[in-house]
Structure 1
């Protein structure tokens, strides 16, 4: 049996080596994973407490309407319940968008580099992908993205903060883009790292939802909320777009335990504030260190930094992994001579700085 012809040009997602593999390969006792932008502070203790008291009935299908978390988000975000759709992480929402709106002959417009699953799922649906390079600082080139739109464009992907560069689309630029974007084009605004942004950097897309019926905003519980292992994210849009997406959504696509944990996590905003403050402190300290060794980095409103390296990012990656730190080499992200480093705890980042300083000094001697 053969699949779609386009699948011959794609590869399955390949995750990095797991902790146990690396420990065995390099004889290490301790591994620090700084490659997947996870929350190093875990998740709300309230989630742990509630789930310890009683797990959902695993023999019963979950609530296909995601009623409890839907109402909690509706109240928190001041939106109607029918403006929400839930998925197994925002990645499934992206997949639902592609399945609902794309077909052979259509096209999508996106930045490059950005989250790769936009392109992956668009190609599977037979759409053409138009990639517009970010500027030298990792920001979307919105003018060129507008120029790339035509009558066959169905979706424009905007990632803010952008993964892997960390850059936010400024509010004025976002509103200008929305005012100029043709109404037949769905603007998919991915805010997976929303909770890490400084409030001044927030483009406040949600407050303009009523003005732009071709806008969908996506957020997740995987990053700041620390529920990556449970896989639950959501999209916010007009009721018409949500209805369209619901037609292709699986009837029980989020689990009972994920729904329950999301409700509890949503209620513990003190944990989110604590995560935000710790991340901000660690990021500032790491940026100061990078300035000292003169390794440039991209502006970031996230829990990671994309760092320019004096040699191949793969070389830095290999050095760090042999010393117990896993990062993401830029060569795998389409940005040579960089590494994307998730921000860990203060203790872990101090140890990382020592390793990078040693690497930097060794390279300086060679030169």
Structure 2
């Protein structure tokens, strides 16, 4: 099976600086690493299948009732469980966007309509998406979108929320990158009580730099849906190590914003300017990653790997071509290496 995501350092024969995975550039908080190490001593016991302490910590962090929360082996695990529970016949997402929405729907026997986003309009989500929702069972939004780094404008988001509630469409909003965006805040969590058709996907993976531990969660006020999602997966989907790390991460609420202030915002501006100076087409990002195009250069990923740098080819994103690429915003010294390598191959 072909691997189609970032972070594939395992198929390479040489160490690389990984710009293909969009996680916190500060890495894992020390308190999280310490909690994970300590939890290994208790790995001779089954983990808490209800994630009691973790759900309590998430409840305090996100300001939502514990009964709204379902934890899983990453947000992707919950996405597949959600689609397995709903079994949608017809779903809508954007193009380009995260590919697992479509894979989860098709795995559950459904079909997906992809609403195209226009690169000439900065990949903004607009009224065409709302028009495409007619007849859908489920709608997916990634906010900020992956790989474009664009946030959905609040007015558009409100229109979509109301339309989906009135049309009884389950609206799934992926907020996994929200804390590493220019509009972190509470996201749509305050809307959950008024919109029982709303499901939020969130993860510790990106914000707290722990992709190897696989830890995500979803939020919904729909008690029947929460129960259905739980039934659609195995009872021990979150290890005790991941649960301990998650509780510790909830105790470090400022870690994502620290990364945004110290690394992402200044380095994103620098990278955007430098990439453009190299003749690349760069879209303004509101997240911790950047989408760019190297017109006609479809081998850029391979050329950079030869120089010890791994970037994300966007060739498999619907709506993009093989000369589109995505990079994570990394610390200054790593960005120096990336820019030097780009200058050598372009």
Normalising by structure 1, report the TM-score. Answer: 0.86
Question: Equivalent residue for 1:223?
Answer: 206
Q: What are the equivalent positions in structure 2 for 1:292-303 lying under 5 Å apart?
A: 292-303=277-288
CA contact (8 A) 1:102 1:154 kept: no
CA contact (8 A) 1:88 1:231 kept: yes
Question: Equivalent residue for 1:358?
Answer: 344
CA contact (8 A) 1:193 1:224 kept: yes
Note the aligned Cα RMSD (angstroms).
2.1
Decide which structure has the larger Cα Rg and report it. 1
How big is each residue's C-alpha offset from its partner over 1:308-365, in whole Å with a ceiling of 9 and x where there is no partner? 11323x32112111111111112232412211111222101011112222333xxxxx
Name the SS for the 1:167 alignment partner: coil
How many pairs align? 340
Question: Equivalent residue for 1:191?
Answer: 175
Distance 1:148 1:203, change over 3 A: farther
**1: CA distance, partners of 2:80 / 2:9:** 29
Distance 1:108 1:19, change over 3 A: closer
Pairing 1:178–2:161 present: yes
Instruction: Answer 1 or 2: higher relative contact order, Cα 8 Å, separation at least 6.
Output: 2
**2: CA distance, partners of 1:47 / 1:60:** 20
Question: Equivalent residue for 1:74?
Answer: 59
**1: CA distance, partners of 2:37 / 2:266:** 32
**1: CA distance, partners of 2:6 / 2:128:** 34
- Offset of 1:14 from its aligned partner? 5.0
Distance 1:45 1:282, change over 3 A: same
CA contact (8 A) 1:66 1:86 kept: yes
- Offset of 1:249 from its aligned partner? 2.6
Q: Could you list the runs of 5+ residues in structure 1 that have no partner in the other structure? A: 1-10, 25-29, 361-367
Q: Could you list the runs of 5+ residues in structure 2 that have no partner in the other structure? A: none
Question: Equivalent residue for 1:39?
Answer: 24
Of 203, 209, 229, the residue aligned with 2:192 is: 209
In terms of mean alpha carbon deviation, does 49-58 or 159-168 score higher?
Answer: 49-58
The runs of 4+ residues in structure 1 deviating greater than 6 Å are none
Question: Equivalent residue for 1:147?
Answer: 131
In terms of mean alpha carbon deviation, does 269-278 or 109-118 score higher?
Answer: 269-278
CA contact (8 A) 2:96 2:147 kept: yes
Of 284, 309, 332, the residue aligned with 1:346 is: 332
